[in-house]
Structure 1
Amino acid sequence: MQRRYLGLTAAAIATTMTATLTGCGSGSGGDVTLQLVAADYGSGKSNASRLYWDQLARGFEKKHPNIKVDVHVYSWTDVDKKVAEMVDAGHAPDLAQIGAYADYAAKGKLYSADQLLSIPTQANFTPSLEEAGEYKRVQYGLPFGASTRRLFYNKKLFAQAGISGPPQNWDDIAHDAQLLKAHGVKMPFALPLGPEETQAETLMWMLSGGGGYTDSIGKYTIDSPENVRTFGWLKDDLVGKGLTGTDPAKLDRAAAFKAFADGDVGMLNGHPTLMKQAEAKGIDYGTVELPGPKGKAKATMGVADWMMAFKQNGHRAQAGTFLDYVYSDKNVEKFSGEYGLLPVTTSASQAMQEDDRFAKMHGFLQQLATAEFYPADKTSWPLVSKTVKAKMGAAVHPNGNPSGVLTEIQNTADAADNAAE
């Protein structure tokens, strides 16, 4: 609490200074155009993120006629690379809504949250997300869209296999997967450890087994006994017994989600957007907290994408004014509802929790406060994530060596961490 109080005090000072120097951030010194690069969360033209941003920008400009917002939206495949190219070329955008912030923060290229936001806006972020946006105990990453993970199961396939309810622990998963396999289900348990999003599936299982990527002080613990035990179990009790239906190293998350929506998967770990995908295909599904070896997992994985403001163009006050508008309840709730994501602010989360229209989101939302995130505050994380994507799938192959693979990734992580110091 003391650290948060001090941070908000700094925010108050920064806000006061901004108001004094720039007329409360209204752009009173002349017209300013903010350039925003954002990621596309839409599934097609009808709900492309450009539609959301265009409407938001026009609403903001009506209230602040001296500040224009020029929005450029790119696919998730391209957006991080596009921002990196702009920064490297010396033409950083004023604002970027992308997947990682730590490297830019480490190089001193970003404004901190308390240099940008009003006190009410900064104080309103969900605490777990605010902390996940910190680099060296200063918040530079502003959370923008969040999700947690739960285990999805196909109720029809479970009933046909004689399974009365969802699994509660790992033994249940293996037992239920055997029954599903016996009833001809193509993928009793879909385990996507292909290169698309391996780092996510890996963390979910690490947390299920009582481990994780790092310890409480941020040191990598990739080859911990808990993680070795977890991936040994996956190798021997799921993959080795033919209960995944396919080689996990060749299965991407998107393909696994599609297979679930097509009725070919009994169980898998998923995030909220899978609900719409499954419902569109008429799948009767349920969700449950991630099972652990003996009961519920110690935590689930949380994921957040990040908004950040670059210093290069000197538009701190105008960017802060725009971000206060972006993080208003109305806009946060609209974005979350449109794209099946969790709100990143306390007030919008409370509103969703009290709204029966979002009843299926409530389980995901309740987990957010205790969710664990990627170590995105470490500049070594991009390399570690890339290494996990390249290697973890093979670790659970029947001929794989989970301990050896985890140790190899640990060595890469340690070397990257040491190089960053």
Structure 2
Amino acid sequence: MRRGIAATALAASLALAATACGGSDSGDSGDSADGPVTITWWDTSNATNEAPTYQELVKEFEAANKDIKVEYVNVPFDQAQNKFDTAAGAKGAPDVLRSEVGWTPAFAKKGFFLPLDGTEALADQAKFQPSLIEQATYEDKVYGVPFTTDTLALVYNKKLFADAGVEPPTTWDELKTAAATIKEETGVDGYWGSTSAYYAQSFLYGEGTDTVDATAKKITVTSPEAKKGYETWKSLFDGDGLRKANTTAEAYSAIQDAFVNGEVASIIQGPWEITNFYKGSAFADKNNLGIATVPAGSSGEAGAPTGGHNLSVYAGSDASRQEAALKFVNFMTSAKSQETIALKNSTLPTRDDAYTDQVKADPGIAGYQGVLAAAQPRPALPEYSSLWGPLDEELLAIAGDKKSLDEGLSSAETAIQKLVPDFTK
């Protein structure tokens, strides 16, 4: 494992950082004059499918670093953000957090994350995809090391597409045509869309816009470009070979199940479902899974939101624990560790040298690696991830014909204004 900067210089810099952040008031630091330093890691991954791999890597790290013990805690993802916010505010947070990329600006702004520039954790910075480092950056400082990444893609059933004689579409209009042809030739619906705001984000990128312009501090969700994107999104719920919007609480699982069992030929989905794709009858042969860049809008460009997780270090820990945490983050994000994680969990590495021949033998991982170029980093806006909340509610109403597009987007704009009150409409 690479050591990065000298331990003495690191300890001095961390002591300064800890002083600036007020140190740690979380009680026992885990340090002992004759024992190992103990750090705590909150892992927010799936406890059944992913966590065992991380627990094995923790053991491997401890075996190679006898002076460090890692207390592993699996925290449910949907609870982790609030739990960490509360714990960090009380200066009792874990030393390392598996943080969703969208959490970085808010926690960095509050001073909860340690800047990692020049530390051992980020010693291999040049190995990581630049867009992922950008996503971990707030006000010109890097606050997380990219751990896993994801984006959305058009996933499709190669056999159904071949039986219908159609190629993966590159525009939304081509998708409509392909869906109709697939329905006519095979009897299977060609596409089923989601009402979720996150999944609708690609329609905005395809028109060269977003929900807000963070640089200009302007809400753009009702702009002509955004309306055009959402009009295209809504149009894909009505037509030959296009399934109507599912507005129930079970929509996600219904769409997923229909795809993996060959009842619909294509959907928009992320790589977190790779292992579940293969459990479906349609993909008993993994090579039947097709993965293509999301279709482009009228701008001619295709784009999908970048997701994933970083490993971030708590700024409130004492210097010895921060030093140990930085070593741990460096180990967990190394090429070797990322290769192991990819092979066992079917998640996407964040560094190119982890895409070994063995990793790319998985058609799902190889396919998603091929679409990462279209992934767009989120703006470094602390409130950005929360903007999808109002849109989830309004898009559901629009897709279910409870509100017109104008009504729904106007309501979303009003709700977003409350989240970013210094933005203009």
Q: TM-score, normalised by structure 2?
A: 0.81
Is the CA contact (8 Å cut-off) linking 2:145 and 2:333 kept in structure 1?
no
- The correspondence for 2:293, drawn from 283, 289, 292, is 289
Task: State how many pairs are aligned.
Answer: 395
Provide the C-alpha distance between the structure 2 equivalents of 1:410 and 1:83, rounded to a whole number of angstroms. Answer: 29
- CA shift digits 1:96-133 (9 cap, x unpaired): 11322222211112101126435532333211000011
Please list every run of 5 or more consecutive structure 2 residues that lacks an aligned counterpart in the other structure.
16-30, 283-287
Shift of 1:275: 3.8
Shift of 1:145: 0.8
Provide the C-alpha distance between the structure 2 equivalents of 1:65 and 1:327, rounded to a whole number of angstroms. Answer: 19
Change (3 A) 1:397 1:22: closer
- CA shift digits 1:159-213 (9 cap, x unpaired): 55x34322232222222323445578575421121xxxx2320212222343333
What is the match of residue 115 of structure 2? 112
Is the CA contact (8 Å cut-off) linking 2:136 and 2:144 kept in structure 1?
yes
- CA shift digits 1:68-99 (9 cap, x unpaired): 10001133233334333433454211111132
- CA shift digits 1:37-57 (9 cap, x unpaired): 111236x4xx441x2222212
Change (3 A) 1:16 1:406: farther
Provide the C-alpha distance between the structure 1 equivalents of 2:270 and 2:421, rounded to a whole number of angstroms. Answer: 34
Is the CA contact (8 Å cut-off) linking 1:240 and 1:397 kept in structure 2?
no
Shift of 1:13: 7.7
Shift of 1:390: 1.8
- CA shift digits 1:254-303 (9 cap, x unpaired): 43222211222122112224343233223233222211246964323321
Q: Which moved more, 1:363-372 or 1:97-106?
A: 363-372
What is the match of residue 73 of structure 1? 74
Shift of 1:67: 1.1
| 1:123 equivalenced with 2:123 (yes/no) | no
Paired residue type of 2:41: L
Paired residue type of 2:366: H
What is the match of residue 86 of structure 1? 87
Matches within 5 A, 1:283-322: 283=282, 284-293=288-297, 297-314=301-318, 315-322=321-328
Paired residue type of 2:252: R
What is the match of residue 36 of structure 2? 31
- The correspondence for 2:384, drawn from 365, 381, 386, is 381
Provide the C-alpha distance between the structure 1 equivalents of 2:384 and 2:298, rounded to a whole number of angstroms. Answer: 30
What is the match of residue 345 of structure 1? 351
Provide the C-alpha distance between the structure 2 equivalents of 1:296 and 1:264, rounded to a whole number of angstroms. Answer: 30
Identity in percent? 21
Q: Which moved more, 1:381-390 or 1:92-101?
A: 381-390
Provide the C-alpha distance between the structure 2 equivalents of 1:388 and 1:223, rounded to a whole number of angstroms. Answer: 12
> SS of the residue aligned with 2:154?
strand
Q: CA RMSD in A?
A: 3.3
Shift of 1:316: 1.7
> SS of the residue aligned with 1:65?
coil
> SS of the residue aligned with 1:239?
coil
Q: TM-score, normalised by structure 1?
A: 0.82
- The correspondence for 1:395, drawn from 394, 398, 401, is 398
Provide the C-alpha distance between the structure 1 equivalents of 2:14 and 2:157, rounded to a whole number of angstroms. Answer: 56
| 1:18 equivalenced with 2:10 (yes/no) | yes
Change (3 A) 1:55 1:293: closer
Provide the C-alpha distance between the structure 1 equivalents of 2:65 and 2:338, rounded to a whole number of angstroms. Answer: 19
Please list every run of 5 or more consecutive structure 1 residues that lacks an aligned counterpart in the other structure.
1-10
Provide the C-alpha distance between the structure 1 equivalents of 2:81 and 2:193, rounded to a whole number of angstroms. Answer: 26
Provide the C-alpha distance between the structure 2 equivalents of 1:392 and 1:153, rounded to a whole number of angstroms. Answer: 24
